[in-house]
Structure 1
Amino acid sequence: MFVCPTVCFQVGLFLFPLIVGGYTCARNAVPYQVSLNSGYHFCGGSLISSQWVLSAAHCYKSRIQVQLGKHNLELSESTQQYINSAKVIRHSGFNTYTLNNDIMLIKLATPATLSSAVQTIPLPTSCVAAGTTCLISGWGNTLSSGTNYPDQLQCLKAPVLSAKQCSAAYPGKITNNMMCVGFLEGGKDSCQGDSGGPVVCNGELQGIVSWGYGCAQQGLPGVYTKVCNYVSWIQSTIASN
């Protein structure tokens, strides 16, 4: 059984998602990936416009420093930009226990300067089909049992599972706003510290790292917020803030 390390979030029944079984990303190959920091890295996020970041509601803190253009969290890098949050807006329907509507917007105090290392990722134009291979990234734990938090950004390519496979893995726990991505045989997954980070499929942000039982366990894939259901919420929230 997966044991929750001291830095892992625990809400309701769930232990939250590091990348297990992945590889070190090429430097600045994921230019939309951000680190949410409050004196330490605690979650990931995605830059969706020069002034807005999308993450998971369970990553909420009232004040957040957003670190952009990062590859190695332990080094000072020429590409990095550190920008404080001006507003942190959780979805009003977020449920702490079921993790339904696990989505949050962060407005940056000043717009990010876009560069080869800092880029926005498009929102989905439609929901992603089962079987599509996507890229998951983060600085989360790389061990399915034990802890090893990497300095360098980790990547994992994994398929979107069908709604039927997802519901069968977590009976009664999957809402229409969630999707499973990963491998039912286990061995590869997101894990603690990756929460809030991106799942990108065909160049669009389709998922947000949300929850799972343990990490990389057989029959228990990672569960992700289904971004395609929230495009209008994202657009209206940005427009009114």
Structure 2
Amino acid sequence: MLRYFTLVSLLALCRGFGSITTFPEGSVEPLPLKTNDAPKSRIVGGQTTTIANYPWAVSLQHEWEEYTYDTIHFCTGTIINKDWILATGVCALMIESENVTIRVGSDYFHEGGTVHEIEYAIFHPEFNETTQDYDLALLRLNTSLTLSNSVQAVKLPSLNQNYPEGTIFSMASWGASVFLGDMTTQLQYISLPTITTELCQTVYFDRITDRMFCSYEEYVGMCIGDTGAAAVVDGVLIGIASWDYACSSYGYPGVYANVSVMVDWITEVSSSSSPAPLFCLVAALAILLRSEA
């Protein structure tokens, strides 16, 4: 049943709700890294962990009657404070059409912890659904979280904080372990090194912007359900899993929203107890106009 769900998810995610991405019409298809270009390291990925090690990780899920459990996991989110969850803009788009909830404080996406409803989403005003630039959104919860050892806010970076090539970060999520493989019900973590923008652009060309950074490790990376997962260094958030090509198949880097260059927006929105409805309307209208341009 899990494999069936993964196949169905893949079809949905290729339309925009996940880490597998399609490229704008007329653009050049990505070219994989050559073996001698790929950085080598001894880090190990895909290991089981507990939510106490990544207490900011939350599961975004919605109901599906034909699934094994009451709800299915489709994206990962990150706790910013007791009222706000950071997600990608692409994942937040699904909230408009689905009854999305989040589960916090559990090793498993289908049980344990507590479940909370989302009141509304605020997209980054420059978010571009097609290119996935500025791929951030903040989700306002209906009820505040109760913080504990298994429910904690992540630490935010300084504005424009720089992390050089080869910086090792960790990321935890409930996404699929391999392309077209089974979803993982229990939280898994991986560790990955960053690579230079120039090297990443040899694969994805000019689609990589200053609001993104890339990582690569042979056969290790994000996949279905990992979008929105926090990339952290010593407990500090440096990025959010945004997109990749074919579940980080050999030669294809993962791409992350560069949080440090957008952290001022995160702080501004999440520090407000109740943002003005006009602010939300203007942001949504700007995204709509760009998508129709």
Query: TM-score, normalized by length of structure 1?
Result: 0.88
1:29 is matched by which residue type in structure 2? Answer: N
Q: Distance in 2 between matches of 1:197 and 1:105?
A: 13
Q: Is the 8 A contact 2:51 2:57 kept in 1?
A: no
Q: 1:11 deviation in Å?
A: 4.2
Name the SS for the 2:195 alignment partner.
coil
Aligned match for 1:16, one of 4, 17, 20: 20
Please list every run of 5 or more consecutive structure 1 residues that lacks an aligned counterpart in the other structure. Answer: none
Among 228, 234, 237, the alignment partner of 1:202 is 234
Residue in 2 that maps onto 1:236: 268
2:172 — aligned with what? 137
Match of residue 171 from structure 1: 205
Instruction: Tell me if structure 2 keeps the 8 A contact 1:11–1:97.
Output: no
Aligned match of 1:217 = 249
1:98-177 matches, cutoff 5 A? 98-125=131-158, 126-144=161-179, 146-177=180-211
Q: Which has the higher strand share?
A: 1
User: Could you say what the CA RMSD is over the residues aligned between the two structures, in angstroms?
Assistant: 2.0
Where has structure 1 moved over 4 Å in runs of 4 or more? none
In structure 1, the partner of 2:75 is 43
> Is the partner of 2:176 in helix, strand or coil?
coil
Residue among 99, 102, 106 paired with 1:70: 106
Q: Distance in 2 between matches of 1:59 and 1:216?
A: 19
The offset of 1:166, in angstroms, is 1.6
The CA distance in 2 between the partners of 1:154 and 1:27, in whole Å, is: 9
Q: How many residues align?
A: 229
Secondary structure, counterpart of 1:172 in structure 2: helix
Partner of 2:285: none
Higher helix share: 2
Matched residue type, 1:187:
Y
User: Aligned partners of 2:239, 2:51: CA distance in 1, in Å?
Assistant: 22
Tell me, yes or no, if the aligned pair for 1:16 and 1:210 is still in contact at 8 Å: no
Q: CA deviation at 1:27?
A: 4.7
Is the 2:45–2:191 contact (alpha carbons within 8 Å) kept by the matching residues of 1? no
Structure 2 CA distance for partners of 1:37 and 1:74, relative to 1, 3 Å: closer
C-alpha separation between the residues in 2 aligned to 1:194 and 1:56?
A: 11
When normalised by structure 2's length, the TM-score is: 0.73
Pair 1:81 & 2:85 matched: no
